[in-house]
Amino acid sequence: MVLASASPRRLDLLARIGIVPDAIDPAEIDEAPGGAELPAEHARRLAAEKAAVVAARHAGAIVLAADTVVAAGRRILPKAADADAVRACLKLLSGRRHRVLTALTVIDAGGVARHRLSISIVIFGPLTAATIERYAVSGEGIGKAGGYAIQGAAEGFVRALSGSHSGVVGLPLFETRALLIAAGLSLPHG
């Protein structure tokens, strides 16, 4: 099994269900949203493209790819490149509801692609300017979709979550497990 991601969080999440990939091979594709692309379409497209690129390099392997998008309404929030982007994301998310969409694509050894989309609703409590500043300078949100990492200090911002916690982290384990079993992977926990 090949994981088409360099994310240490996805690797850790797979380990929780007893899976250690045989290889890790990030796809390195352009992840910019297309024109009027909606968040779900964007996440699905990127997961499918990542899986296809990596499957072409690993014929006969099971390939797992994922993409996580944080959306406020129809707006796709960026992966925060720096502390300023983290600040902007948190100001937008403060005191409001947003969606975290993680799309999965698994391509089996015969080349058949299967897809799933996990949608979670996250509600942040109001964040003070000082809280946003401390989090932004901590560096934890840099490189993360929406400018935060729910598995870190930002979990303290979450007033409510409906959906998959692991999906918000970046790999919804229920859907991942189902897709891998359908692709023929034998899992240690059945």
The CB-based long-range contact list for 29-38 (8 Å cut-off, 24+ gap) reads: 29/53, 31/67, 31/79, 33/76, 37/76, 38/74
Residue 42 phi, psi (nearest 5): -60, -50
Query: Are 54 and 35 within 8 A, CB to CB?
Result: no
67 included as an active-site residue:
yes
Distance CA 117, CA 176 (A): 10
Among the listed residues 67, 82, 84, 108, the single catalytic one is 67
Provide the annotated active-site residues.
67
